[in-house]
Amino acid sequence: MEVRTDPRFNRYPDLLISNRERLLQISAISFDGDMTLWDFFKVMRHSLGYTLAELQKQRPTPRALNLTIDKMIAIREQFAEEVKGEVWNLEAIRLKAFERTLEYVGCPDRDLAAHLNMIYRKHRFEDIELYPDVVPTFDILAPHFKLGLLSNGNTYPERCGLDGRFAFVVFAQDVEVEKPNPRIFEVTAERAGCELTQMLHVGDSLKNDVAGARNVGVPCVWLNREGVPNDTETQPDYEVASLSDIPAILGMGEA
């Protein structure tokens, strides 16, 4: 199909011609997952709420009753940092974090940690909600481009209602390298069956998605849903407030 870039979303007006020429080559589009296709923080805190309620029901000690979701998140992040580069499976990290949480409240119990992990996983994946612009945008793009998922998370397509929507899927925990490392973008292009310059990447993180893509020559779109100012030196090729703006960037009109 013919691709015509829409200048409304171009971050470098003086390079419009260059960007138009680059987009003419696009055959595949990779999408980040968390905070791009669904609100990860919302569903994560929602799921931890159920988990915390069960923990306090099973172990109603003063320390457990004073435990907060924010503290549970902090314990998980601390453990993840400790094993960074050694343990890649995010579900294993989450399980260990629940073990650490029970130790923190003075009630170490691996069986209870496994039970809490089961509750967390149930709500984490069953209660996830796609942003409303996801499916309509995919419906417009899919007939013309290979669509893929490139994620540092662990929400596989079948866990979020997107089974069968992607031609290629790459998860950091499976290839043991994460964005913004150049290698994960190379792996993604290989699975998409195209050159790096023929792949457009879309994501919400300036560090992981935008800088990662630009460092290997992949055209990129920064999804900035909240309109936060970019006070970094990392500049995307395009910036949008909604996925529904992407077809216009590619010359397909508004979604």
Q: Which residues contact 169 (CB under 8 A, 6 or more apart)?
A: 148, 149, 156, 157, 191
pLDDT at 23 (0 to 100): 78
Confidence of residue 7 (pLDDT cuts 50, 70, 90): very low
List, as own/partner pairs, every contact residues 65-68 make where C-beta atoms lie below 8 angstroms and the sequence separation is at least 24, other chains included. 67/101, 67/104, 67/105
In 133-199, which residue ranges form alpha helices assigned H by DSSP?
134-141, 172-175, 182-192
User: Sign of dihedral through CA atoms 201, 182, 208, 48?
Assistant: positive
* pLDDT score of 246: 96
Tokens of 170: 């790459």
Per-residue model confidence (pLDDT) at position 252: 86
Record the tokens describing residue 150, joined without a space: 């490139």
pLDDT at 3 over 50: no
Antiparallel, parallel or unpaired: β 199-203 and 28-31:
parallel
Q: For residue 162, give Cα distances in angstroms to 129, 139, 147, 156, 193.
A: 11, 12, 11, 8, 21
Average pLDDT, the chain: 93
Q: 11: which residues sit within 8 A by CB, 6+ positions away?
A: 235, 236, 237, 238, 239
Instruction: Take residue 110 and report the two structure tokens written for it.
Output: 């691996």
Proportion of the chain above pLDDT 70, given as a percent:
91
Reported confidence tier of residue 251, pLDDT bands at 50, 70, 90: confident
pLDDT single digits (tens) 178-218: 999 999 999 999 999 999 999 999 999 999 999 999 999 99
Q: What is the pLDDT of residue 173?
A: 98
Summarize the confidence of residues 94-105 as an average pLDDT.
Answer: 98
- What does the chain come to in residues? 255
DSSP 44-84: HHHHHHHHHHHHHHH---HHHHT--HHHHHHHHHHHHHHTT
Is residue 101 pLDDT above 70, yes or no?
yes
- Cα 73 to chain center, whole Å? 18
Name the token pair of 176. Answer: 């043991």
Stretch 220-247: mean pLDDT, rounded?
A: 97
CA triplet 30, 35, 38: central angle to 5 degrees? Answer: 85
Average pLDDT over residues 116-141: 98
The pLDDT tens digits of the residues spanning 70-87 come to 999 999 999 999 999 999
Q: Which residue has the tokens 């980040």?
A: 32
**pLDDT value at 170 more than 60:** yes
Between strands 168-171 and 28-31, the pairing is unpaired
d(CA 54, CA 246): 42
This prediction's pTM: 0.91
Cα–Cα distance measured from residue 96 to residue 116, given in angstroms and rounded to the nearest whole number: 11
- Quick one: pLDDT band at residue 107, thresholds 50, 70, 90? very high
pLDDT band, very low/low/confident/very high, at 96 (cuts 50, 70, 90): very high
Res. 12: pLDDT tops 90:
no
**Higher pLDDT pick, 204 / 6:** 204
